Structure 1
């Protein structure tokens, strides 16, 4: 497993991380034993970045990770959590007092004195652009509550605003073959500034797994059922904003371009991880098979797979099938 520097923190994290939204809520039920098995399989495969949030299962994801790491001394895993969605996403709610309360809660959930990395959880643009936001975060670092901070964003404009701040460690943004806009400006700007990029929603909510058909259905408590048009939160979070049928057509074309021994999910994760400026890709996993397969995709970075050829296919499919509908947004 390749590792890369995490901004200026002195830490390194694995090229393939683990997103843990699935272990909390919004993807259907996952019991505690399954959740712990996913964490174990990931760590055993060399994953050293777990990404979570205080609202995933109302803290369940953080608590599960905290218990797991508590039983694994010397684990070497960086936990990146997020805050800012426990109240309405209005600028007036992003106060130093709320920052303190949210981070204190996450510290209790994770069982640590100092949080490795806290990311603002897709806050309003006004919050990202405000100097007061970063003053409050700097105070948390100075007080020892958090070691570093970053921002998870919805749009490339928000990413660029965060990257411009001197103490931002990372920006987390949706990046996958259905969402190429970050390649234009965000990745070069992050590389120049020494800011890490975490690529989230790398498999487009599973659409890039290649397992789905037009007949696939999802449970009522799965956001892929209730948020396809942004009914609950930004629609770009579900299938990366791509229409389901249009996504299936693009998936078929991408899959057809791969050799028989390389799966579309593995190719996708390796392609993202190989992009200049990307520090880590953070796919989710609901079971150990998915967790191990995601981590194993890192092997494609070491040769034996024509990443440049796949890159050309990705860009061609995007330009023909998706760019007009996706590129003007986010």
Structure 2
């Protein structure tokens, strides 16, 4: 599998990457064995970049990924994890933030240098890594935090957390840093005045949702900031099609969205191409001077294999011309 650079940081990532929320038991609990099988399939197919976060199963995703990577040559893979949510030991719960059977940890927001330092210390222990290749600031912005709470967190980040990340990178203690978010607005806000190596952007540069194209993509190109494209199916609707109950952006799709997806599906069907295939190839064919990797997720071996196969299969010329 081809690799791509995160700017001038020296960090290399595979052009297809593995998102590890699902191995943290997102929505459905899986066994340790199944988690290892999913990761092994990705590895066998050439995936060498893995993204995780403390929030995913309150540490379970990081622990499972660390178990898998133990013994793998350190120069053959890259890992990103996230900061902004700090884990502290707490009571065992059946579910936390949509993750089933999480590890017994409480989660709280902290975007200060002290919070980031504590978060990374825990992540390194669970992952079994001395150095994290990419550190992403998780969900800062009003989309997740809300207008009421975000100003204080942003102030903590700008005054304390961001300088600390720059210091860690300058000392060679992390390879690169940036954002892991579901919105373009906070990316534009921060990129205007601050250097970021990379942004993991979920669901905002897809076949269905192109909010990133107008302003964020040109700004990333200008600043030399790479994008990792996550959420390429927009919470599932581009994988399953406009079925009743299909989800878009973490909620059931509206009738207008269902109609929009139905029109997309029909256009690609006329070019003898499935909607999921088009969605994956849309992400993979975005300009490489901006996009470093396309992030896949999922805990089902059959689905992961299918998506990897679709990524390896170029579109026909008629279908490719429909991507725009």
Report the TM-score when normalising by structure 1.
0.78
259, 265, 274: which is aligned to 1:255? 265
The whole-number CA distance in structure 1 between the counterparts of 2:285 and 2:312 is: 11
- Structure 1 residue runs of 5 or longer lacking an equivalent are 217-223, 225-235, 313-330
The whole-number CA distance in structure 2 between the counterparts of 1:306 and 1:3 is: 28
Give the aligned partner of residue 217 of structure 2. Answer: 187
Report the TM-score when normalising by structure 2.
0.79
Segment drifting more, 51-60 vs 28-37 = 28-37
The whole-number CA distance in structure 2 between the counterparts of 1:18 and 1:170 is: 16
- Structure 2 residue runs of 5 or longer lacking an equivalent are 87-106, 142-149
Give the aligned partner of residue 42 of structure 1. Answer: 42
282, 295, 300: which is aligned to 2:295? 282
The whole-number CA distance in structure 1 between the counterparts of 2:313 and 2:256 is: 27
Q: In 2, are the aligned partners of 1:2 and 1:298 still within 8 Å (CA)?
A: no
Secondary structure at 1:295 match in 2: helix
Higher helix share: 1
Alignment length (residue pairs): 288
Change (3 A) 1:26 1:101: same
Give the aligned partner of residue 99 of structure 2. Answer: none
Alignment of 1:21 onto 2:21: yes
Give the aligned partner of residue 145 of structure 2. Answer: none
Matches within 5 A, 1:65-144: 65-73=65-73, 76-86=76-86, 87-89=107-109, 93-124=110-141, 126=151, 127=154, 130=158, 132-144=160-172
Give the aligned partner of residue 146 of structure 2. Answer: none
Give the aligned partner of residue 284 of structure 2. Answer: 273
Alignment of 1:196 onto 2:226: yes
Shift of residue 142, structure 1, vs aligned partner: 4.2
Q: In 2, are the aligned partners of 1:214 and 1:245 still within 8 Å (CA)?
A: no
The whole-number CA distance in structure 2 between the counterparts of 1:191 and 1:152 is: 18
Q: Report the RMSD for the aligned CA atoms in angstroms.
A: 2.6
- The structure with higher relative contact order (CA 8 Å, sep 6+) is 1
Give the aligned partner of residue 317 of structure 1. Answer: none
